[in-house]
Chain A
Amino acid sequence: MSQKQQQRREQTPAQAAHPAAPAPQTAVATDHLEDMTADLERIKKNDQLLKMAIAGMTQIPALGGEKNSAVFIENIKQQSGE
């Protein structure tokens, strides 16, 4: 793990959102930009995977329309246990 990654891991979320370390402004900006780029890449990849999964879901009642969904839901009926 790089030193930078280690530092990031040890940051609190509040620090991550508002870096408090008095580092040179350019270094913070570059680091923040790298983080944002990596985050965006991951979100984009997840989005693609999600779309692939949805495309494969041919048997899901909800994808068969509003009426089918309503009928399906009506049948999900349990007793409380605990």
Chain B
Amino acid sequence: MRERIIGLETEYSLSHIPAPGETAMPSADLSARAIAAARGAIGYQRWDDSPFWPNGGKVYLDLGHVECASPECRGVHEAVLYDKSSDRLIELTADAVEGELGFAPSRESIFAAKNNVDAHGVSFGSHENYLVARSTPVIPDPEEFFHYLARVLVPFLVSRTILCGSGIVQGGFQISQRAAYINSVSALDTRQSRPIINTRDEPHADAETYRRLHLILGDANMAEWADFLKLGTTSIVLTMAEDVFLDGLPELQSPVSALWAISKDPTLKTAVPLANGRSATALEIQQYYLDSARAYFDDRGEEEEQILERWSQVLSELAREPRLTVGKLDWVTKKDLLENQLPQGTGWDDPRLKALDFQYHSLRSKSSIYGMLAATGLINRLLRDEEIEAALRKPPKATRARVRSAVIEYGGSPRDWTECAISDGPVNMEDPFDWISVDAMVRLGTPPREVFSSLAAACSQRTVEVVIQAVRGLADLADHTGSSLSTQIRALIVSMAAHHDRRVRLAAIEAMAAVGGSTFRQPLREATQDTDYRVRFAAECVLRGEP
């Protein structure tokens, strides 16, 4: 699996439902109160007003909304986990604010929801962020590559609606909440001209290497399967695009009109016009991308396998009978629920259906229809409640969010996504994959033995990139420690030179070169007999004292 950093920014809806005859508190005021109460809701105390959170994410007031930005996540499962932990934070916060305001439970309440449209037609966002390559060897010009990326993505994103729309009662039933608010193919803006491809270029990382793809067209998902498919399928298509693998794309004649048309047809029969004069349904377009992915990923990692399997399963079920995806896809689950509740002789304009639509997205345990469906066993879960709860405070295992979280724990202060401040100066975090900064840990006063334990634990992880960073961290730590720990560090580096992955063996040889000393002579000699010529060459260079 190619490693990819994924993050989500979700705006939550908070509304005061007042006692009969009384006036509601404006939602912006309620959101400000929620921001003030959020830390207390999880027992997190802090001396400053930094919006960064102990899990490395960010919680703040954005133009009258509570917004949660997840920490940088490595892979899809982790991104879904932190998305759900943000939902849990909002639930706890709403409970806390209700307590503070002294609401009588049966008379007034706070409606807290994860959706994208209010009752007055105002839309708000749930943005996805994917770290992508700035360019590729095949298309070295960054602008040209982004243009290609957009060309690959547009038909995919338009048709992806059938997987991750969360459904809305709006002039009938529509698959997507956001689709009707998307009105351009690509643009920098996110409020007036909402695009399919947002061209904002703020990588929050080394801008020479990376770009952060910022997508604003997706719906906020309650269902874990839908969330997983939204992030997973997009990540897979991005990987194929980075390798310039896709050709013969089903390019759309009019992408925005196609998005609207697909969203308005829950039967999935609408065929949208293609640029080549033909037409295709959303299912057919998705099938093109799935078939391409199957051909591309012949050597699949565990997560890729899961994504392709679930993607295939859901497309097949949607083609046979959409109701087979109840419990997996939000729009189908909601539609089935509403149709079961549709009073005889009334239509989609009945306010009861609109109210049920909102309540599906409620995050309050007493009033959440999604929550009740999950409790009944109707929702297909991918996560355990305990891991969602733990993710409120703990950072992802192997991204720079872990460094940020450690800085917060030891009294430092994150300045932004790429830098933290500690007492003796800044900590640079330009690389989102760099999950351990030995230098920062030591400067924060973390006992070296504790840092060593983290690195040793990481050395036994399955993700090769994590192991490589841990080996590099061992070399850094060797500069900071006394003789007893130094022996253990050296022993661990030597053991990593026998790792099954040649990239880890290479990192171990680099670490031996950095740490130096005669103890590495024997393992280096052994490495000159390695099966991989790169490892042999590196070991010979180190033994000869060459860089």
Interface of A with B (CB < 8 Å)? 8-14, 16-17, 35, 39, 42-43, 46-47, 49-54, 56-57, 59-63, 65-66, 68-82
Contacts and interface: CB of A to CB of B under 8 A. Distances in A.
A65 B367 CA distance: 16
B191 A80 contact: yes
Contact of A82 (B16, B191, B316, B359): B191
Nearest to A10: B312
A43 B321 contact: yes
A35 B28 CA distance: 51
B373 A53 contact: yes
6 contacts: A53-B376, A71-B20, A76-B13, A76-B118, A79-B28, A82-B127
B341 interface: yes
B216 A82 contact: yes
B376 A52 contact: yes
Contacts of A81: 11, 62-65, 67, 124-125
Contacts of B24: 75, 77
Nearest to B14: A78
A49 B373 CA distance: 8
Given A59-B367, A60-B369, A66-B351, A46 B319 contact: no
Contacts of A57: 369, 372
Contact of B13 (A9, A74, A78): A78
Contacts, number: 164
Contacts of A47: 340
Interface stretch (B201-209, B322-330, B453-461, B517-525): B322-330
Interface stretch (B145-153, B231-239, B283-291): B283-291
B42 interface: no
A71 B113 CA distance: 17
A27 to B, nearest CB: 19
Contact of A77 (B62, B119, B319, B369): B119
Nearest to B332: A46
Nearest to A9: B312
B340 A50 contact: yes
A61 B337 contact: no
A12 B352 contact: no
- B284, B336, B372: which has the most chain A beta carbons within 10 Å? B372
Given A62-B356, A81-B11, A81-B64, A75 B323 contact: no
Contacts of A63: 352
A77 B118 contact: yes
A13 B340 contact: no
Given A16-B320, A82-B216, A54 B28 contact: no
A51 B369 CA distance: 12
B294 to A, nearest CB: 9
A76 B30 CA distance: 12
Which 8 A/B pairs are nearest by Cβ-Cβ distance?
Answer: A13-B319, A62-B355, A79-B64, A69-B355, A81-B65, A76-B119, A53-B376, A69-B351
A77 to B, nearest CB: 6
A50 B284 contact: no
Given A73-B355, A76-B358, A14 B64 contact: no
A80 B525 CA distance: 64
Given A49-B377, A75-B111, A79-B65, A62 B321 contact: no
B17 interface: yes
Contacts of B124: 78-82
A42 to B, nearest CB: 6
A12 B291 contact: yes
A9 to B, nearest CB: 6
Nearest to A53: B376
A60 B283 CA distance: 35
B366 interface: yes
Contacts of A35: 320
Contact of B15 (A49, A51, A59, A78): A78
Interface string B304-322: 0000010011011011110
Contacts of A46: 323, 326-327, 336, 378
Contacts of A51: 340
B536 interface: no
A62 to B, nearest CB: 4
Contact of A66 (B316, B350, B366): B350
Given A52-B376, A53-B373, A80-B123, A16 B319 contact: yes
Given A50-B340, A77-B118, A14 B284 contact: yes
Nearest to B25: A75
B287 A13 contact: yes
Given A53-B373, A54-B337, A80-B124, A60 B13 contact: no
A69 B359 CA distance: 11
B341 A82 contact: no
Contacts of B341: 54, 62
B219 to A, nearest CB: 14
Contacts of A71: 20
B500 to A, nearest CB: 28
Contacts of B354: 69, 73
B419 to A, nearest CB: 25
